[in-house]
């Protein structure tokens, strides 16, 4: 089969590699679409890894079942699926408490197992049992289905910080994740949804796609603007969906007393963020971490997109065939549109 392998920094090569084998208790998927994630772009630009499953990326996957293992139950050839990467063990302390994404034996497709920038993908038994494999209806396009993966972590994050009715929410970042946060906050009944973004061309787009206010992170005076929009209190919830320690620190300043700040976006290894300790202490601000999601969040994401509560098609601004995968990554790296998706023939 054809597969895009990350063979070096800024070097994605289309190779012929052996077809993956369907495990007796697994599935074989003919990949239909695979989204390009911000983390994929970072790997492409900065840190090519070794090992086949490390080089074959792509974790926002949809496709059709083409083979079913002899011992696999509950799936049939021809069924349409969306696949997301987290795989947990189902047994450990965290799994037993419904926090599968914090599993002590956490694994991911496109890390421990080969990913979806390929014509075929084997779905291992552990993914069927403890992962995120969802059947999708014919009404949902394969391309739209790929957005359920990033939406899953957005859902898990807003559940953790309990975004609710009337909450004024500030979001750093107007990329696909920031926009999904804005749209989900609206669904949760948020009041103000203020998006902060450094690229001016993304501000208008954010307003069209769910934000009630968009601020330029480089030019606008953020604290007065947020106070002004929140009856001088500050935001109930501040979500940092931009890989910036400056934004992580600024977020605390924009939260109200007893406000919730969540550091959603990952930073480069070893990053440190300097915060004003007294600002947290006296104003009783809480800082949350948010990473990944559990299978039930993935299920909710697929449902929200299927029922068009979130219109995934508006987030997808470019599609490329697998043969142009490098071009697709260059496009995504420019950060002009929102979501780039690789679509197979
Ligand atoms: Zn992703
Ligand atoms: Zn576990």
Q: Is residue 329 included in any domain, yes or no?
A: yes
Rounded Cα–Cα distance for residues 318 and 338 (Å): 8
Whether pLDDT at 142 is above 60: yes
Q: Are residues 273 and 313 in the same domain?
A: no
Q: Are residues 175 and 267 in the same domain?
A: yes
Q: Are residues 94 and 180 in the same domain?
A: no
Q: Are residues 54 and 145 in the same domain?
A: yes
DSSP helix/strand/coil, 330:
helix
Ligand nearest to the CA of 100: 2
Q: Which tens digit of pLDDT belongs to each residue from 291-314?
A: 999 999 999 999 999 999 999 999
CA of 97 to the centre of ligand 2 (A): 9
Q: Are residues 147 and 173 in the same domain?
A: no
Q: Are residues 141 and 30 in the same domain?
A: yes
Q: Is residue 192 included in any domain, yes or no?
A: yes
Domain residue limits at 42: 2-151+293-343
Whether pLDDT at 43 is above 90: no
Ligand nearest to the CA of 107: 2
Beta bridge partners of 316: 339
Residue 231 contacts residue 124 (beta carbons within 8 Å): no
Total count of domains within the chain: 2
CA of 296 to the centre of ligand 2 (A): 15
Q: Is residue 210 included in any domain, yes or no?
A: yes
Ligand nearest to the CA of 98: 2
Domain holding 306: CATH number? 3.90.180.10
Closest to 321 (Cα-Cα) out of 33, 18, 12 = 33
Residue 310 contacts residue 155 (beta carbons within 8 Å): no
Residue 303 contacts residue 328 (beta carbons within 8 Å): no
DSSP helix/strand/coil, 314:
helix
Whether pLDDT at 8 is above 90: no
Whether pLDDT at 182 is above 70: yes
Please give the angle made by the CA atoms of 1, 132 and 312, to the nearest 5 degrees.
85
pLDDT at 46: 84
What is the average pLDDT across 110-138? 96
Q: Which tens digit of pLDDT belongs to each residue from 199-209?
A: 998 999 999 99
Q: Are residues 312 and 200 in the same domain?
A: no
The neighbourhood of ligand 2, an ion, using CB within 5 A, equals: 88-89, 92, 95, 103
Q: Are residues 129 and 41 in the same domain?
A: yes
- The secondary element (H helix, E strand) that includes residue 23 is none
Cα pseudo-dihedral 30, 33, 36, 39, rounded to 10: -40
What is the average pLDDT across 16-37? 97
Ligand nearest to the CA of 129: 2
Q: Is residue 156 included in any domain, yes or no?
A: no
Q: Alpha carbon 76 to chain centroid distance?
A: 28
Q: Are residues 211 and 285 in the same domain?
A: yes
Domain closes at, from 246, 261, 289: 289
Residue 53: pLDDT band (50, 70, 90) is: low
CA of 147 to the centre of ligand 1 (A): 9
CA of 107 to the centre of ligand 2 (A): 10
Rounded Cα–Cα distance for residues 84 and 295 (Å): 9
By CB atoms closer than 10 A (0-12, 13-18, 19+), residue 314 is middle
CA of 279 to the centre of ligand 1 (A): 33
Whether pLDDT at 324 is above 70: yes
Domain holding 261: CATH number? 3.40.50.720
Q: Are residues 274 and 182 in the same domain?
A: yes
Q: Are residues 124 and 71 in the same domain?
A: yes
Kindly state the tokens that stand for 81: 């699926």
Q: Are residues 233 and 306 in the same domain?
A: no
Q: Where do runs of H (alpha helix) occur along the chain? A: 38-46, 52-55, 93-96, 125-130, 142-145, 148-160, 176-187, 201-208, 222-229, 245-254, 277-283, 295-306, 325-334
DSSP helix/strand/coil, 293:
coil
Name the least confident of 7-16, 178-187, 297-306: 7-16
CA of 60 to the centre of ligand 1 (A): 6
Q: Is residue 328 included in any domain, yes or no?
A: yes
Q: Which tens digit of pLDDT belongs to each residue from 228-258?
A: 999 999 999 999 999 899 999 999 999 999 9
CA of 146 to the centre of ligand 2 (A): 25
Domain closes at, from 289, 308, 328: 289
DSSP helix/strand/coil, 340:
strand
Rounded Cα–Cα distance for residues 328 and 322 (Å): 9
Cα pseudo-dihedral 23, 25, 31, 35, rounded to 10: -110
Q: Is residue 125 included in any domain, yes or no?
A: yes
Q: Is residue 157 included in any domain, yes or no?
A: no
Q: Is residue 182 included in any domain, yes or no?
A: yes
């Amino acid at each position: 089969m054809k597969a895009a392998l990350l063979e070096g920094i800024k070097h994605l090569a289309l190779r012929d590699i052996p077809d993956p084998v369907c495990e007796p208790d697994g599935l074989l998927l003919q990949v239909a679409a695979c989204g390009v994630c911000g983390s994929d772009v970072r790997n492409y630009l900065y840190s090519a890894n070794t090992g086949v499953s490390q080089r074959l990326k792509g974790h926002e996957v949809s496709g059709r079942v083409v083979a079913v293992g002899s011992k696999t139950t509950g799936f049939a050839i021809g069924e349409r699926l969306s696949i997301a990467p987290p795989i947990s063990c189902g047994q450990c302390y965290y799994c037993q408490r419904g926090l599968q994404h914090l599993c002590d034996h956490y694994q991911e497709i496109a890390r421990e197992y080969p990913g979806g920038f390929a014509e075929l993908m084997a779905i291992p038994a552990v993914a069927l049992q403890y992962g995120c494999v969802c059947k999708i209806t014919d009404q949902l396009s394969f391309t739209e289905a790929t957005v359920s993966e990033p939406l899953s972590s957005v859902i898990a994050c807003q559940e953790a910080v309990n975004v609710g009715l009337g909450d004024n929410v500030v979001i750093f970042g107007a990329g696909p994740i920031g926009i999904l946060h804005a749209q989900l906050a609206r669904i949760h009944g948020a009041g103000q949804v203020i998006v902060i973004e450094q690229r001016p061309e993304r501000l208008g787009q954010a307003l069209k796609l769910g934000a009630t206010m968009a601020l330029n992170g480089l030019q606008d005076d953020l604290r007065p603007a947020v106070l002004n929009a929140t009856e001088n209190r500050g935001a109930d919830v501040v979500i940092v969906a931009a890989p910036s320690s400056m934004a992580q620190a600024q977020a605390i300043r924009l939260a109200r007393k007893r406000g919730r700040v969540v550091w959603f976006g990952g930073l480069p290894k070893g990053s440190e963020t300097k915060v004003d300790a007294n600002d947290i202490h006296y104003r009783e601000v809480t800082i949350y971490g948010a990473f990944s999601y559990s299978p039930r969040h993935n299920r909710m994401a697929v449902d929200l997109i299927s029922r068009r509560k979130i219109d995934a098609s508006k987030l997808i601004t470019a599609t490329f065939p697998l043969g142009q995968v490098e071009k697709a990554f260059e496009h995504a790296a420019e950060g002009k549109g929102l979501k780039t998706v690789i679509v197979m023939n």
